[in-house]
Structure 1
Amino acid sequence: MDTARLRQSIADHCGLDPRNVHAYVIGEHGDSEIVNWTNVDIAGIPIKEFCGNCEDVLFEKLFEETRSAAYRVIEKEGSTYYGIGLAVSKVLSTIPNDQHSVLTVSSVHREFEGMQDVPFSVPSILGRSGVERILHVGLSEEEIRELSKSTGVITDAIESLKG
């Protein structure tokens, strides 16, 4: 959901159709999620090149608005179930139709950039058999550190449930 929200925010800022924006929100779905800014592009053009006069502060503002959107929806409507329903509907239509779509979904990773045996979201190809391939998008060293923190939040939550 946050990947779609971020793409929409970037598209709105640039006056574009969000289908031309390629950006991924990865990690935990919540406060520790991160954007893979290293690979954000518009029609194949890196976002910093496309938005030559945009400052990093703007990108962080767009992401912060994305990350806090669920809180605003909950405050207004009491829940985010419509957005969740839409996301689930997309996943459920992708699998039986064997669409091989790239979606940002959670799965348990045996190993991803040094993180092991923990579920978190990354771009993945979905088809008839579910997650068919996890895409190892290029991450900067800072993005890897932030993703590690995000997976730590998930690991801590899992451990607290084992209690």
Structure 2
Amino acid sequence: MTQTVGIIGVGHVGAAVAAALTLRGSVGKLWLVDRQDAKAQAEALDLMDQNALLDKHTAIEAFSYDSDWHQLAECDIVVLAAGDISLLGGEHPDRFAELRNSVHVAQDVAPRLRASGFAGVLLNITNPCDVVVTYLQRLTGWAPNRIFGTGTTLDTARMQKAVATALGCNMADVTGYVLGEHGESQFTAWSTVRVAGQPIQALATAQGLSLPDFKEQARMGAWQILAGKGFTAYGIGLSATVMIEAMLADSHRALAVSAYDPALKCYIGQVARLGATGIMSVVSLPLTAEEGVQRERSAASIQHMLATIPV
């Protein structure tokens, strides 16, 4: 059976996901939907130009935003990447401005997806990721395991890069997680971080390095990119692609995604195993007391934004 992925919103991020899936030959069919039909069609044509140069062929098609949502019923996974990053502003980003727009996106997309007959997994990238995916789950009523967000997987990668750069090691040797909100209240669970199996705290102490500096570099990674080019795309595009591949392969790979927490009644960045039906299980990490407090603060930030959404 041909594996099919749909992408709603093919701006910078949606297009990056589509390009990564095509270049890696991850799917047999790729369906693109955007409010601007011409944009979706142009992206499809541009991606199709690559097929003659690739070892694997991907069937790519763009559909009308107003009339063709029934096509998404064929999809195993649908990615929501719609949004307007310009609303964040410049030096002083306004996440609430982005949230107001994203709420309208969710209110438009959720009923269309429900009516389409789509029965697969919905992966949300639209920011604020944890808030939007919580709202989408409420609007769709779908089981929490078949809808989740990209969460802090990219933030985790940025932490790995910061640590590897400071220690002069390979990024693949850095393991561990950034958890909580994909946003200002995210935190690095340093108790989980290892470098070639060695606890980061011991290495940092021995070399006189500051863990808070690593945390700040990871947190500010997106803002540095935004300041220079106005958007981020490649990192989050590949993060989503890795999650899609994990689900299509039913690999049960553990990643720091935005998964539902019944106790908090919201989605939050935590480690979960991904498989064919979405979230297979959440991994309970033994956080320190300080990390537990940071998680609570992060959850409060998400819940604060959720409380501003009209019921």
Same fold (TM over 0.5): yes
Root-mean-square deviation (CA, aligned residues, Å) is: 1.5
- Residue aligning to 1:159: 307
- Residue aligning to 1:130: 278
- Residue aligning to 1:99: 251
Alignment partner of 1:58 out of 189, 202, 210 = 210
The answer to whether the 8 Å contact 2:204/2:211 transfers is no
Q: Please state if 1:71 is matched with 2:219.
A: no
Tell me, in whole angstroms, the C-alpha distance in 2 between the residues paired with 1:22 and 1:76: 28
- Residue aligning to 1:88: 240
Tell me, in whole angstroms, the C-alpha distance in 2 between the residues paired with 1:71 and 1:20: 25
The answer to whether the 8 Å contact 1:23/1:39 transfers is yes
Q: Which amino acid aligns with 1:65?
A: Q
- The percent identity for this pair of structures is 27
Secondary structure at 1:136 match in 2: coil
Q: Which amino acid aligns with 2:222?
A: A
The answer to whether the 8 Å contact 1:27/1:120 transfers is yes
The answer to whether the 8 Å contact 2:259/2:272 transfers is no
Distance apart, 1:49 and its partner CA? 2.6
Q: Please state if 1:149 is matched with 2:301.
A: no
- Residue aligning to 2:163: 10
Q: Deviations over 1:47-91 (max 9, x none)?
A: 123444234x62110110110111111111111122221111111
Q: Please state if 1:23 is matched with 2:176.
A: yes
Q: Deviations over 1:29-50 (max 9, x none)?
A: 1110011111211232211234
The answer to whether the 8 Å contact 2:174/2:193 transfers is yes
Secondary structure at 2:281 match in 1: strand
Q: Deviations over 1:91-120 (max 9, x none)?
A: 111110112211100011113xxxx21110
- Residue aligning to 1:39: 192
When the two structures are superposed, what TM-score results if normalisation uses the length of structure 1? 0.90
* Unmatched tracts of structure 1, length 5 or more: none
- Residue aligning to 2:127: none
Tell me, in whole angstroms, the C-alpha distance in 1 between the residues paired with 2:204 and 2:226: 32
* Unmatched tracts of structure 2, length 5 or more: 1-153
Tell me, in whole angstroms, the C-alpha distance in 2 between the residues paired with 1:5 and 1:137: 20
The answer to whether the 8 Å contact 1:48/1:54 transfers is no
Larger radius of gyration: 2
Instruction: Work out which structure has the larger RCO, using CA pairs closer than 8 Å and 6 or more positions apart in sequence.
Output: 1
When the two structures are superposed, what TM-score results if normalisation uses the length of structure 2? 0.49
